[in-house]
Amino acid sequence: MRLIARSLTSLSLLTASIAAYAVVPSITSVTTAVPSNELYAGYSYATRSYDQTSANTISGGMNGGQASYKFRILPWVGLKFDASYYTVQHQYTDPQIYFFLAGPQVSQHLGRYNLFVHGLIGIAHLNGANPITNSVSGNDAGFPLNSNYTVAAAVGGGIDRAFNRFFAWRITGDFLHTNFSISSNEQNPAQLVSGNGRISTGPVLRF
């Protein structure tokens, strides 16, 4: 009887150990759940133009591109470097804006899908000087956009859909914040757009 009891006890302990191992992922599976490195480049669209002010109500957005690189520093956390560029041609201004941002990204890997959110901070650069500075009627008053830098931030996230171990397709969106303003000696000193949105899509290389 003692032998049977010991056997049953040993079997129970073995069964419990196997169940615990199946429920709690190993360190290896956790660290490999999110790709170590992600390199992304794609088309991006800013929802508002950066020559829009309260007196210059130009509608429409700006086309551009976005690229980023992320490397893993913890099982679900990575450090991300992000660069993007947007431009558009209007009758009186041709704004061009560049973003250079960095910050943490938190990811959740679910089968073929990788969900992520990020918070980024850095700088933005705006230019687009136009020689036409004379006043015109209505809300189309022309003004030059002097070369200008400001602190910028982006908060957002996205989803990757993997096709194999090394290649995925990404859709992402962000809220952008800047503090650009036109200098007081310009024709229209109203503050430029400070809140903006951007969406982006393109391929991701994972390694």
> What digits encode the pLDDT tens for the residues 138-165?
344 455 676 788 999 999 999 999 999 8
Distance between CA atoms of 193 and 124, rounded to whole angstroms? 13
- Total domain count, the chain: 2
Determine the pLDDT at residue 55: 67
Residues 41 and 21 placed together within one structural domain of the fold: no
> Which CATH number goes with the domain that contains 85?
2.40.160.20
Determine the pLDDT at residue 130: 57
Given a contact cutoff of 8 angstroms between Cβ atoms, the answer to whether 190 and 143 are in contact is no
Q: Is the CA virtual torsion 28, 29, 31, 36 positive or negative?
A: positive
Determine the pLDDT at residue 188: 46
**Can you give the residue range of the structural domain that contains 3?**
1-31
Residues 26 and 40 placed together within one structural domain of the fold: no
| pLDDT less than 70: residues of the chain | 1-34, 54-58, 92, 129-144, 146, 181-190
Determine the pLDDT at residue 63: 97
